[in-house]
Structure formats: C-alpha cells, structure tokens
Structure 1
Amino acid sequence: MSVVTGQSLREVENRVLWLSAAIIDHANRVRPNPAGLKVGGHQASSASLVSIMTALWFRHLRPEDRVSVKPHASPVLHAINYLLGELDASYLTRLREFGGLQSYPSRAKDPDPVDYSTGSVGIGATAPIWGALSRRYIESLDSGSSRGRQYSLVGDAELDEGAVWEAVLDSAVGELGEVVWIVDLNRQSLDRVVPNIAAGKLQGMFAAAGWQVITLKYGHLLSELFTRPGGVALRQRIDEMPNPEYQRLLRCSAEELRHRLPGDSGEIAALIAGVEDSVLVDAIANLGGHDLDALDQAFTSIGDTRPTVIFAYTIKGYGLATKGHPQNHSALLSAEQLRDLALRVGADVDDPWQPFPEGSTAHALCADTALRLRRPTIARQSPPEVPSDFGRTPTGVATTQAALGRALLDLTRAAPAAARRVVTVSPDVSSSTNLGGWVNKVGVWSAGERPDWFADDAETILHWREKPTGQHIELGIAEVNLVSLLGELGATWSRWGQPLLPIGVLYDPFVERALEPWSYGIYAGGQSILAGTPSGVSLAPEGGAHQSIKTPSIGLEQPGCVSYEPAFAIDTEWTLLASLGRLGKPGGTSAYLRLSTRPVDQTLAAVPTDPAARERRRRQVVAGGYVLRRVDTPAVTIAAMGAVVTEALAAAARLHQVGIPADVICVTSPDLLYRAVRARQGHSSDPSWILEQLFPADRAAPLVTVLDGHPHTLTFLATINRVATTALGVTNFGQSGSLEDVYRHHNLDTDSIIRAALDVRR
C-alpha cells in the first residue's frame, strides 16, 4: 500500500470503530428509554471485526461479491454503509428501534444493503455456501452473469455449531472455489475466554475437507520482534501460553508486561527490555486480524479453485478500553471511555456522525470505494405461469407422496417453462420419496458433467445422470443443509433476478430438525416448498422413530408459509400447483406439504365432473378445505385431515345407519382456516369466505376433529360456530405395527371416531 492509501485506510478503520461504538452507545445511553429495558449491542464483538471489514470493503470487495456478517458485528456493517453513502445518518441513532436498524443484519428489514441475514448462530455463516451453489445453479438459466465470491465473516464461537460442519463436510462444497470464510478468532465466547480453542484442530478439519487454509496470526510489530535475538523464544512463549493468560496480558501496562511476559526466560526479558513502553503494549496486541498489511496479503493469496478459510487472530474489543476482558461481550464504554476513544481516533463525541471533510484522502477513499462497489440494477424476471389444474382425475389407489412425483412429471408436459424453473432437493431420499421418475426425467445437477456408470445396467431403475443442466440436487443425510440450500435457492429471484421454484423433500419426522434454518431462510426472503413425507403414525411398520406428531401444528404456526395436508392425489396436485404459483416474486410465500404413504381409494374424493363444480372444488382445496359428505340435517360434523379421511367417511356411513347423520369436512389446510377465523375476528385481512362454505352457521352441529398428528391442530374449528367438540389425534410416541393396530392404539380408527361422535352429542 502507498503511504497515502495506508494512512487513509487507517483513518477509515478508526472511523468505522468509532461509528460502531457510537451507534451502540446512542441506543443505550442517549436515546430515551421509557420502559427501561436493556437495548443491548456488542461494542467489543464489533471491534474485533473492524480491521477485517475495513480491509475487505475498502480494498478487495467487488460489486459481484456478497458478504455474510456475523450477527454481533451489525453496527460495523451499518457504519461502513454510512461511509459509503448507502445509509442515511438518521438511522445511526435508531439501532434496535422499531423501524430502525435491526439487532442483527437482515436482508428483509434493514434499510441499507445486507447480503445475508444473520443472527441465528451458524446459519448465517453457512448461507454463502448455499448462496454460491444457488448461483452456480442459475448459470444453467443465465450463463451471462458474473459469479463473484461469497464471503462469510464468522465468529470463532460459531464453529461450535453442528450446522457449520454439516455444510463444510458436504462433498458438493469442495467444488465451490468462490466461497471464502474469515474466522474472527478472538478466543472469547459470551461469558469467558475459551481455554482450549484448538485452532490447530479446526484448521486441520477444514484442510481435511479440501479447503485452502490461511492462518493470519501475528502482525508486523510482533513479527519484527520475533526476528530479534530472543524472538524465537518469545514466539514460542506466546504460541504455547493458554488463551486466558494471553488475554490477561492485553490488560497489562508496560511495567506489568515486563514482569509477566518473560515467564522464566531471560532471553525474552532481555529482548523486551530494549523495547519502548508504548511499542511493547501495542506489540502484544498486534495480531494479524488487526494488521491491515497482513490482511491485504491474506486476501490477495485467496485461490479460486477450492473454498478458502482464513483464521484471523483478533482481540475482542480491539481499540476499546474493554479490549480482551472476559466479560466484555455486552459491556458498554463509560462516558469517559467513549470520550477518550473519540479523542484518540479524531472523532467528535458531541457530533458523532460527522463525515470526513471533503477533499480529505479518507473522504476520497470512501467515494472511490462507493463507486467501485456500486452494483448494477438487476432486472427481475417474473416467474413463469403455473397452471392451476392439469385436468385429469386420479383413479384407483394412490398415495399423496406418489402424487407429488406424478404432478412434477405432468408439469414438464403441461408447462415446460415453469417446470424448467423447478429444482428439487433431497437428503439421499429421492427414490424413497417417489421422486425417481422426476430425477430420471430432468437429471441431477452437478457443477460439471459426470459419467453414469450404470447407464447400461438393465436392472438400474433410478438413473443418476449428473450434469450442469440437471434439476435435482441431492445432498448427504443432513437436513439442515437441505433447508439452508432451499432458502438460498428460494432467494435467487431477489438476489440475482432469476426466480426458481425450489422443492425440498425429506422425511416428515425430520422437519423439526430442519425447522429452524428453514424458518430463518423464510425470514431472509427465501421462498420454497418443503414436502414432509412420509408422515404420521400412518407409517405404521416403521415405528415411533419415523412417526411425526407435532408437524401439523408447526405448519399452522410458521410465518411466511402456507401449510397443506392433502388427503387425495388431486388435492396434492392442486395444492402443489398453487404453492408453486406463490414462489419467486415480491410478496410470495413458502409452503409446507405434509404427505403420506398410505394408499387411499381415489374415488372417495368424489371429484365433480362438471367443469364449474370442479373449479369450485379446486378453489376450496387451495383455500383450506371442502365438503366431502353433506346430509340434510347433520347431527354431528366430522372434520378430518389427510390420511384418516378414509376412517372419517367410514364412520359417517355407519353413524348414518344408526340414525345419526354426519357431515364430513376434508380439511386441507388448518393454517388457512385459522387465518380465516382470525380475519373474521378482525385480526387480519385474509379471506374468510371458506368458513361459510365449510361451516355455515345454519348447519352448526357438535364437532369431531381427527388427524394423524397432534389433536390441538384442529380444535380451533369449534370456535367458528361455538359448538361442542372433541378432538382425536396422536399425543404419544408411535410404535411399530399394522396400520389397523396403530390407528386403534391412537384412537384414529373408525370405531374411535364413532364413539367420539356419540359422546360429543350427549
């Protein structure tokens, strides 16, 4: 770096440090807080990343690059965006204020540019991996777009998260040379100095996964001392001392350092005896993650043929009075400490947001960087039109799980443009979830074409043709990876203007394992479909470990998502097509389809043959439910969902024989019906017309609800007409057995429904 550039870069570094600290200070000490609740913020965690982010943004970042910033460094990101003219100064006083800057970086809610939402530890760190893979995928649709690097700024404590290693170890990740992780190795967690951070072990794990590993441990001051007589002993002493001992040295005066640092080494004592006090204090804190020259060299050495991880040794609270203290995670600088910081970095505590003077080299650097990083406007393509109905009526016996695969194949014929935008993802379960036909049709995606060595094997049913134009991505058995990728595939419409229609398929019992990252992907703007299949205790012989209970209510409660549990193949087709039509656009939503492997007689669906009546049925299915059996005057209503609709119909027929006429309502989405109830109560603007069609007040009768899941999912239906009710469902862990035995055990069988109907009428 030239003298002018180096000096201006250090001025920017100091200003970023000041702004990040001042943003947090204002939120906690200046802004009125009538409630007295802690506002929070992380001055020390921000400070440890200031040098890294300054060097990255103001020297190396390109417009096509994207960066995920660790959650607790959000004030640093906002400070940089402010200096680059991407954030109005009025927001600097609004950290963690309603409508202001979010606690953690958010693509959806922050007013300035944020590439990746973070805040859920580990999920934001891995997002650029799946962003890179998604970017590779859309190259098959838009080969003219530039790839760019995908950076993750990762806190070292985030490496404790299993999600990190699930992502790092996936075989597909080793091909993503645009992925760069920078580990902020400050060796502290929330409450302590981590005694055994084991950096060498972590570096070895990344190397074993095929990553380029760059270690940035010492800055130029310490490195120069290591070259002097006694320097080898000094380096060995620092390398071998426990993390807490090193952190304690950061809190020492020069006099204390001369006593503590040598240990029993006369060599070290002699070496530091000739070092000035101020130089010695600066040198002991001179780690590579705070040395702009060392950072520059590290960023320059990044290769593009494999993922890269840079272990940048840093100090939590670097540049602040709280540096290195074990309890500095949420500590705030005192008023005196903040004033001292302002004096040292050339800021004004009374006018904290003042920009660099025009004509200064620092102002010029900010202006040049803003110009260099300006991204071209991306023209967003609209997603292709998805048909609402293929026009066929399934017959015979079928499962809703198989109907998913069949509908995808039908889509390739009925709407090839929409089908080309579909990408399916599964964790090594594509054949067992009935995606085999789809995979054979569209092929498997890979960065490069690979030979199918079983193409000429007559006994091979599932053909694994891997090519860059394939539309199925199969990951290892790691559900977190699947839904994390799903979220990024679902965000390409807003990130690169290329809408995709992503569908993830996994066993329904594992939806809970994958829920948190999928939910976070929805929060970050990812729109996708998650198909949980097979589901419930209907998977009887598989036993309790593979039987889901809570997932229906999860679908009802998940924001940004519409959930469905279809009973018949035609319901699956209609709800899938409707869900696809909601993807890849502003205001779009995700969907969760809970499917079953239980074979069901499709004639029970009684699909109308009249075109107008058929369309009415389709609209009802998509809106949340439809009438499957209607009597003149019901003595009881049975509302059933999913696989147990068969038992509900059988129970209604037998009740009719004993003089108790029963309506049967097939619920396809408790989620949408609940929204309709809340809309009727004035809590939302969702449509509520479906309630009158399913549960008209003049047909109100005692209600029995039944589903293969937790019974509370449907209990709210009784509030529509305030009728007596009883709820059947699964409240205990499942067990292996025949379908009949398992249904009887959980009171889902026909006899149990009849008994419930008789009891609720008393």
Structure 2
Amino acid sequence: MTTATPFGDRAESRGSDPYGVLGEVEDRLLWLSSSIVHHANRVRPNPSGLKVGGHQASCASMVSIMTALWFRHLRPQDQVSVKPHASPVLHAINYLLGELPQAYLPTLRELGGLQSYPSRSKDPDPVDYSTGSVGIGATATIWGALARRYVRDGADAATRTGPDDAATSGAESGSGAAADGGFAGRQYALVGDAELDEGAVWEAVLDPAVAGLGELVWIVDLNRQSLDRVVPLVTADRLRGMFAAAGWQVLEVKYGQVLEELFTRPGGDALRARLDAMTNAEYQRLLRCAPQELRSRLPGTGPGAAGITGLLAELADEELVGAVRNLGGHDLAMLDSALSAVDDTRPTVILAYTVKGYGLPVQGHPQNHSSLLTQEQMDQLAEQLGCDSAQPWADFAPGSAAAQVCAATAARLRRDAPALQPPPALPTDIGRTPTGSGTTQAALGRALLDLTRQAPEAAARVVTVSPDVSSSTNLGGWVNKVGVWSVAERTDWFADDPETILHWREKPTGQHIELGIAETNLVGLLGELGATWSRWGRPLLPIGVLYDPFVQRALEPWSFGIYAGGQSILVGTPSGVTLAPEGGAHQSITTPSVGLEQPGCTTWEPAFAIDVEWTLLAALARLGRPDGESAYLRLSTRSVDQSLAAVPTDPAARERRRRQVVAGAYPLRRVAGAEVTIAAMGAMVTEALAAADRLAAQGVAADVVCVTSPDLLFRALGSRTGQDPDAAGWILDQAFPLARATPLVTVLDGHPHTLAFLATIHQVPVRTLGVTRFGQSGSLEDVYRYHGIDADSIIRAALDLTR
C-alpha cells in the first residue's frame, strides 16, 4: 500500500547544519507564511463564500532561498523582486525584521490589508517590485538595473547623489560587498521555473543591453511544477544553455549536503546517475512514497540498481525519506555557497532545485499549487516546527539567538527614505505658432528640441526610449542633439560620413535608449525609468515611442508598470488607417480609447502641431511626483495645414485655447444658427472642416469641435454626477455648451465607440463614424471612403440627423 509521508523531517534533511539559528528563522518563516494563507481562508469570516486563495506550497519552496538571501547576503542598496505566490514569505520576513506590524498578518487579500501579490504601491511594508503578472517581476529587475545606471550616469550625473553614491555596507561573507563592478546594489529576482515559460522573459534576456548588467542575479525556484501539473521534461539543461548563450553566469544548486555525502559512498555514483536521469514526474512520485516503496522504486532497473539498493539499506527509514527531499534549494549552506560565487561582471542565474510544498503534507503533489492545509494539518505543522497554533503570530523570544539574528539583519538592511527632488519646472507654452503643413508625429521631435532651448533643466531629465524606430518616428533630430545612452562610450564610425543623417553617438550621458524590437521590453524599461522618483528620489521624464499598431502588445506590461508607480509617456505613431498603403497589417482601431479604460493614464490625440506641444508639456508636468500620472499620445503621419488650427493671436485667447486643448476639446468653428455639431479627433479634423464647408453650401450650418482627449471629457461628464469630482467639468460648458446643443456627428480614425458617449452630454441624436473592420491597402482617399470616415460620409450622417 502506498502512503505519503505527512512531513519530511526538515532537521534530518538539513544534515549536520552549521546554520542552526538560521534554521530556526527558516522554520518560523514557513510557519508564518503558511499561517498567513491559512488565516485568510479558514479562520477569517467569509460571508460570501468566495475563495480567498493563497499559495502555501509555492511559499514553502521559497522559504530556504529567501532565508539565505535576506539573512546572509542582502544589503540595503540591493533590491529584490519576489515571485508573486511567495508574497506571504516576504511579509513574514518584514514582520520578523520589524517592518510590518503584527496586525497586518491576518489581513492577506483583505480590503486595506496585504495584497494578493507583492505591491510597491499598496502593501503596508517595504516591497521593491510589484509582481503578479507572469514574467514581469523577473524582467523588472533588468529595467530597474538600467534605470539605476541611467540615474547615476545620465546627463546631470555631476549633480546627482544618493544611494548609488554611498559606500557599500558590510554584509556577511561572500555577499560581494567589496566590489560591485562599477555599480552599487544588486537586482535580485526570485522566479518560479514555470514563470520562465513567458516569452517576454526571453525577449528581455536577449536584449543586447542586458549582457553587461553584472548586478543582475536571478534565482530560479526549480520545483518542476506548474499550476496544473508536473512539468513533463527535465528543463534545467535547456535553461542552463539558454542563459549561458545569452552571456549569463549559470550556477546550479541541485543536491543538498546529505545527498552529496551519500554520493561519496559505494553505490553513490549510481544513485547520482539515477537521480540525474530521472524524469520530473518520476521524482515527484517518489516524494509521495512511504519508505518501503522508496526502497523498491528508487533503485530502478538499470545496471546500478544493485549498488543503489545496497546504499539505501544503510539508511533508516527517516534518513531515506529526508535524503530523497534533500535538494540544494533547501540547503542553507549550499545556497550560501552559490550566492557567494556570483560573478559581478555579468548577469547571473542560480538554478535552485526545490520541492514545491517542502515541509508541508502536500509536498511534491502535482496538484498542490492552490491546496490549503486543514486545521489538523496546521496543528501538526506547528508541533513539528516548534510553534503554537493558538498563537500563530508569535515572534522569537527577546534575547534568543534567533531574535538577535533578526535584529542584526534588520539593522543591516535598514534604508533611509530617499529625499524626493522636485520635478523640473516646465513651461506650459513654448510660444511658437507652427505654420505651413506638418504632421503631429514630426511635431513631437520638434517640441523636444524646442524644450532643450526653452527649458534646458527640464530637457535634461527627459529620456526617450524606442524599439529600433527612432528615425521612422521622427526622433532623429532629438537623438542627434542629446546622443544615445550607453554604459560606456562607443566610437561612432560613421561620424565622418557626409551622407549619414542620424548620428548615433553612444555615451553614458546620452538621453535616448534604443532597445531591440520588443514592445514589452520598451514599456518595462519605461515603467522603471518612471519609478526613479520614488525609488531614489530622482524624477525622470521618460517618453517611449513605438508604432501605434503595436501599442496593444505593450499595454499589459505598461499597465502593470503604472500600477507599480511608474509614470511615463507612451507615444503611438503612426496611428489608425491613415497609414493607408500599409492596410490591415498595420492599423490601430481600439487604441483611441486607451485612456478611457486605463487607470492612472490620460490619453491625448492632438490634431495640430501646437496641440502636440501643449499636451506634451502638460503630460511631462504630471510625471515624477506622488500625485502624478502617465500619458498616452496618439500621433499621425498625415500632413495637415497648420493654419486650420486658427490659433488665436491674442495672448489671453491663446491661453484659453491651450487650456481647452489640455482639458480635452475646443471649438474649432462656431457658426450662427448651427443645426449640427461635428466632433472630430486627430487627423479627421481635416475631413470634418471640409464636410462643414460643403454642408454650409447646402444651407446646413455646422459647428466643428476638435476633441483632444476623450477620457478627460468622460471624466468631466462624471464630475456632473459626483463620480469624478476632481475632473475639469468646465470643459464641457466651453466645448459643448447647452445653448449650442444640436444633433452630433462624431468621427475619428479608430473605433467609433470612443466618442459615442459625447451624445449623453445633452442627450442629443448622434451618428458615430469610425473604423470597425480590418483595413485595405490603398490611397488615403480610398481608405477613408472604405471605412466611412471621409467627408462624404460625414455629410451624409449630418443630413440624416437634420433633414
């Protein structure tokens, strides 16, 4: 009969442990993390009956790793990204270090309590990185490392001081405290092996900028299980090869001291070979076996079976059960040794073999991912670990050796809160009125260059990022002006080539960062550049530029960056079906409504160059501050006659127009006796004005309103009912006054639902025009006609409403 051993003997599996006091801390962290989840699910009242959730098994596999890292190697300048499902272990550590009041321990996943996953912005205790979305926590350390280097080495490095300038503190032996390869502070990522299935991880690992980041240390919790199953193949060899090919140092912590000692005995070589060749599923099955069945299964049927059988005969039952579980990821001495061997000249990954649910009755079970211990099992666990179920949150006794270790660690890791530098002062209007014909895409680069002349201190804080599209998004002039950021200066071999227009000068003081073609990498870096104000008190003004058709690839990680406190500007250009010859392969339909749906973000879609300048300056002014927010600008490659903007020449009237542009809309044309209003956004303003002219020839007077931000208008509408009391409700009275309420035609180069809500301002009849299907290649006129957003379509809609 097969029976699972309820608990592996942790003391036995440690063998002769010179880390006895740390073992006490390790046990207490296992107990506290299990209790945090247990209380949330089985103790706290739950009237709705909805599953609360939590992951005791995922915590258990990480306890040893996190004990070794925090209590032996971590320094105050280091930062750690903790895998999402191990958040209770992080909170337990913070509790033992005095960084989390005991009252929070029973509040996992409770309103106002501990978040489901580590959160920089919402958890009450110190959290370095928000994690939760698979892959983002790991890659965030890459972008955090780049952001820290940029803060240290960027354009105004001479004036910057802070944690990166401080001397490294004295950590325990082997922590790399003496030299960090030219940087201060490592970036650790604690990653589950299943998390490495996320493709964005490898997009980031393979970016050329990563190979030189010696501060990166990833520790992979190689428990060989995912949510539903045991991972079928042995993936360690593949992972080792992939990281090594990317230039990483690869360290492996496979077996613990008990097994390593057994391997030296007669039959030990055969035992090692047997375990090395064993599939994940077969090994996991051994974890569920009673001693007698282990003696039968473990030797196998190969040529070394007899030697293994003889070796196992030397072991008592408890020794055998402990030996099978004795993996390196649960051996504090082996982990200590691996962390001490980190090479600071290149990124490092440590493959730490673990057992999911280690030390719990569910250890190694293929469906233990979300399993919860019963009260009886918690009582047994408490007895095994020397804890008390009746007092689950008990700390170590004052003066005990474990309490002293915690106190010493807390003192070593204490950080001073960064002194927040105020964001740079920004003008609201540079004062130039564009003339001639131009695109909003080109206006972005021009506005950035104007900023270097009008507000150099603010311009010095701007950092642009793009995925190999700098020239095609009109950033060439800016890049030529400020240079390209690089860890070290590199020779520009085309500097003397007279036919070279884009000068690629790479240097540590450059302000443009070029990544490979991977939008997730771009927004990952953007989020970390946008978080430097809260991490180190050094606000930057980051702007990421990519093709608008690919914004949706970037939205999920960008949204997560905003959630984590990153404030940045994302620019999508070219946009819509206005890039007519590209057809359905390159078009964006839903991006105009991004701001309506994304918390912490405002969207603007300017129609004219002056609108770009004003909205860009407004967006920059909202970055790098506790009350700040991100922005998304949707720009076009369509050339527009700038005189159509009719920018007022009177200074007061010009300022009024600017405020309207920034607030979301402005009246572009008012006519006497208007029978219909055309509300147009972005590139479609030209069609709206042309349609208004032709309607006038038919005796139909039409007002034209230029919408610059649908989500600000939606917020303004919510202010009327108290849903968003802080919104600028006045803009509705100026752009859509009640006295001029008429039937409404809305038109944009995107999905028509974006502006449909405008009809509810005064409950007027409406026709919504936009793009609702995949496009065709063709001329601009043909494509607009195909989608029904041309002047003819606007006229027909207006006549339907008025005649």
TM-score with structure 1 length normalisation? 0.99
How is 1:560-709 mapped onto 2 (pairs within 5 angstroms)? 560-685=600-725, 686-709=727-750
Letter of the aligned partner of 1:203 in structure 2? R
Corresponding position of 1:133: 146
1:674-695 Cα offsets, whole Å, 9 max, x none, are 0001111221112200001111
**Residues 295-325 of structure 1, C-alpha deviations (whole Å, 9 max, x = no match):** 0000000011000000000000001010000
Q: Secondary structure at the match of 2:112?
A: coil
1:197 CA displacement: 3.9
What's the TM-score, normalizing by structure 2?
Answer: 0.94
- The answer on 1:721 being equivalent to 2:762 is yes
Q: Which moved more, 1:685-694 or 1:638-647?
A: 685-694
The one-letter amino acid of 1:435's match is: L
Equivalent residues in 2 for 1:337-376, closer than 5 Å: 337-376=377-416
The AA in structure 2 aligned to 1:737 is: G
Q: Is residue 314 of structure 1 aligned with residue 351 of structure 2? A: no
- Is 1:422 aligned with 2:422? no
Cα shift at 1:4: 9.9
> In 2 relative to 1, CA 114–144 (structure 1 residues): closer, same or farther, beyond 3 Å?
closer
Distance in 1 (CA, whole Å) between partners of 2:253 and 2:163 is: 33
Amino acid at match of 2:629: T
Q: Deviations over 1:601-649 (max 9, x none)?
A: 0000000000000000000000001000001221000000000100000
**CA separation in 2, counterparts of 1:164 and 1:568?**
39
Q: Is the 8 A contact 1:4 1:361 kept in 2?
A: no
Picking from 24, 28, 53, the partner of 2:41 is 28
Tell me which residue corresponds to 2:131.
118
**Deviation of residue 377 (structure 1)?**
2.6
How far residue 5 of structure 1 moved from its aligned partner, in angstroms, is 7.0
Q: Secondary structure at the residue paired with 2:318? A: helix
* AA in 2 matched with 1:696: P
1:15–1:345 CA contact under 8 A, matched in 2: yes
Q: Please list the CA deviations of residues 168-190 of structure 1 after superposition, one character each: whole Å capped at 9, or x if unmatched.
A: 00010001000010000000001
Cα deviations by residue, 1:111-152 (Å, 9 ceiling, x for unpaired): 000000000000111101000000000112326642200000
Deviation of residue 721 (structure 1)?
0.3
Quote how far apart the aligned CAs of 1:514 are. Answer: 0.6
SS at match of 1:674: helix
Residue 276 of structure 1 and its aligned partner are, at CA, apart by 1.5
Aligned position for 1:230: 267
For 1:276-315, what aligned pairs fall within 5 Å after superposition? 276-315=316-355
How many angstroms apart in 1 are the aligned matches of 2:657 and 2:605?
16
8 A contact 1:139–1:145 mirrored in 2: no
Amino acid at match of 1:341: L
> How far has the Cα of 1:481 moved from its partner?
0.2
Partners of 2:162 and 2:49 in 1: CA distance: 53
In 2, Cα distance between equivalents of 1:250 and 1:448: 50
Letter of the structure 2 residue corresponding to residue 743 of structure 1 = Y
- Contact map agreement 1:69 1:105 (CA 8 A) in 2: yes
TM alignment of 1:244-259, pairs within 5 A: 244-259=281-296
CA contact (8 A) 2:681 2:706 kept: yes
For 2:173, the equivalent position in structure 1 comes to none
Q: Residue type matched to 2:551 in 1?
A: V
- Superposed displacement of residue 429, structure 1: 0.2
Specify the SS of the correspondent of 1:175: coil
1:268-312 deviation per Cα after TM superposition (whole angstroms, max 9, x unaligned): 000110112111110100000000000000000001100000000
Which one is further off, 232-241 or 500-509? 232-241
Contact 2:162 2:536 (8 Å CA) reproduced: no
CA distance in 2, matches of 1:651, 1:348: 78
- 2:26 is aligned to 13
| Long gaps (5+) in structure 2 | 1-13, 165-183
- Matched with 2:177 is none
- Aligned with 2:220 (options 183, 186, 190): 183
In the other structure, the counterpart of 1:167 is 204
Distance of 1:644 and 1:37 partners within structure 2: 48
Task: Report the 3-state secondary structure (helix = DSSP H, G, I; strand = E; otherwise coil) of the residue aligned with 1:484.
Answer: helix
Which residue matches 2:231?
A: 194
CA deviations over 1:47-88 (Å, ceiling 9, x no partner): 000000000000100000000000000000000000000001
Cα distance between partner residues in 2 of 1:749 and 1:52: 62
What's the counterpart of residue 419 of structure 2? Answer: 379
Residues in 1 aligned to 2:407 and 2:375: alpha-carbon distance in whole angstroms: 32
2:472 alignment partner, SS class: coil
Structure 1 CA distance for aligned equivalents of residues 414 and 40 of structure 2: 30
Whole-Å separation in 1 of the counterparts to 2:621 and 2:87: 35
State the 1:556 CA deviation: 2.0
Q: Distance in 2 between matches of 1:198 and 1:485?
A: 28
Deviations 1:160-219 (A, max 9, x none): 001100000001000100001000000000111111142101110000000000011000
Give the aligned residue type for 2:763.
R
- Which secondary structure state, in structure 2, belongs to the residue aligned with residue 587 of structure 1? coil
Aligned with 2:90 (options 47, 59, 77): 77
Q: Return the alpha-carbon distance in structure 2 between the equivalents of residues 560 and 700 of structure 1.
A: 31
Q: Distance in 1 between matches of 2:288 and 2:591?
A: 51
SS at match of 2:695: helix
Query: CA–CA distance in 2 between the matches of 1:12 and 1:193?
Result: 29
Does the 8 Å contact 1:68/1:116 carry over to 2? yes
Q: What is the Cα deviation at residue 658 of structure 1?
A: 1.1
Q: Do 1:704 and 1:725's aligned partners in 2 also have CA atoms closer than 8 Å?
A: yes
For residues 236 and 457 of structure 1, the distance between their equivalents in structure 2, rounded to whole angstroms, comes to 60
The one-character-per-residue Cα deviations of 1:644-679 (angstroms, maximum 9, x if unpaired) are 100000111111111110100000000100000111
- Helix, strand or coil for the counterpart of 2:509? coil
Kindly indicate whether the alpha-carbon contact (under 8 Å) linking 2:244 and 2:250 is maintained by their aligned counterparts in 1: yes
Counterpart position of 1:553: 593
1:759 is matched with 800
Cα distance change on mapping 1:42 and 1:194 into 2, 3 Å = same
Aligned mates of 1:343, 1:234 — CA distance in 2: 33
Aligned partners of 2:250 and 2:350 also within 8 Å? yes
Q: Aligned partners of 1:110 and 1:200: how far apart in 2?
A: 37
Q: 1:431-580 residue pairs with structure 2 within 5 A?
A: 431-580=471-620
Secondary structure, aligned partner of 2:433 = coil
Task: Name the CA distance, whole Å, in 1 between partners of 2:314 and 2:598.
Answer: 64
1:327-342 mapped onto 2 (5 Å cutoff):
327-342=367-382
Rounded to whole Å, the distance in 2 between the matches of 1:493 and 1:4 is 43
In 2, the alpha carbon distance for the partners of 1:359 and 1:56 equals: 23
Task: Give the number of aligned pairs.
Answer: 762
Partner of 2:437: 397
- Quick one: which of 109, 124, 139 aligns to 2:122? 109
* CA shift digits 1:362-381 (9 cap, x unpaired): 00000000000001231110
Residue type matched to 1:199 in 2?
A
Q: In the alignment, is the contact (CA less than 8 A) between 1:72 and 1:104 conserved in 2? A: yes
Structure-2 separation of matches of 1:611 and 1:139: 41
Which of 218, 230, 243 matches 2:280? 243
Contact 2:484 2:506 in 1 (8 A): yes
8 Å CA contact 2:234, 2:279 repeated in 1: no
User: Does the 8 Å CA contact 2:77/2:163 hold for their aligned counterparts?
Assistant: no
Residue 174 (structure 2) aligns with: none
Q: 2:298 aligns with which of 261, 272, 282?
A: 261
Q: Deviations over 1:401-434 (max 9, x none)?
A: 0000000000000000000000000000000000
Which residue pairs with 2:772 in the alignment? Answer: 731
Distance in 2 (CA, whole Å) between partners of 1:17 and 1:420 is 48
Corresponding position of 1:218 = 255
Q: Aligned Cα RMSD in Å?
A: 1.2
CA contact (8 A) 1:219 1:290 kept: yes
The alpha-carbon deviation at position 486 of structure 1 amounts to: 0.2
- Taking the aligned partners of 2:162 and 2:300, their CA distance within structure 1 comes to 60
User: How far has the Cα of 1:555 moved from its partner?
Assistant: 2.7
Q: Distance in 2 between matches of 1:4 and 1:612?
A: 77
Question: How far, CA to CA, are the matches of 2:86 and 2:775 in structure 1?
Answer: 45
